[in-house]
Structure 1
Amino acid sequence: MDKKCAWCESEKIEHRLDNVYWEMPDGTRAVKISEVPSVKCHSCNMVYQSDQLVKEIEDQLFLINTNGIGRETSFKNLMVQPRLLKRNYFDF
């Protein structure tokens, strides 16, 4: 887990669950994802997700049938969706 803010390097951070809006890989729409593990910095007020988590979400959205996802889903629900491929073969 992060111990410092990725933006300002302050140690005044809080790990929490937050709502985010994510663009679908095909660019046709965005979806609200609730309860996403996030970091809130109390120094610069930035709220963000770790680079690793961003990659996990991006890969998952790329590898599942997104037609079954409505306008909103939870992080847990998103991550348990069955994948069409085992991994992102386009990630070099």
Structure 2
Amino acid sequence: MKCKWCESDKAIHSLESAYWELPDGSRAVEITQVPSIKCSDCEMIYIEEEQIADIEDQFMLIDTKKLDMTFSYKTLMNQPKFLKKNYFNFDR
């Protein structure tokens, strides 16, 4: 896989922790085991845009008050939704 930062061919899929501010700005949380890209050449770790959009959409669709300060990506994506889709995202 090619790194989007340094264009090395040494990038790999990885599960990493990420810190996120909730959409209402009430607090920041840690999401563990987020599908990410990790490059051994430039040491950059990043989340692809589509994955970021999925996380942002999920936060808009669930009751974030029920989330702990730290939880896994899988836990986040399995939360019950209030709406079928994020009606505030006009790009999707």
Q: What's the TM-score bracket when you normalise by the shorter of the two chains?
A: over 0.9
Secondary structure of 1:52's counterpart equals helix
Structure 2 unaligned blocks of 5 or more: none
> How far has the Cα of 1:71 moved from its partner?
0.4
For the aligned residues, what is the CA RMSD? 0.8
Residue 79 of structure 2 is matched in structure 1 by 81
Q: Percent identity?
A: 51
Deviation digits for residues 19-62 of structure 1 (CA, Å, limit 9, x no counterpart): 11111001111111011111111121110111110000000011
TM-score (norm 2): 0.93
Residue 14 of structure 2 is matched in structure 1 by 16
Task: Kindly report which structure 2 residues correspond to 1:1-92, keeping only aligned pairs within 5 A, or say none.
Answer: 3-92=1-90
Question: Structure 1 CA distance, aligned partners of 2:4 and 2:49?
Answer: 10
TM-score (norm 1): 0.93
Spell out structure 1 runs of 4+ moving beyond 3 A. Answer: none
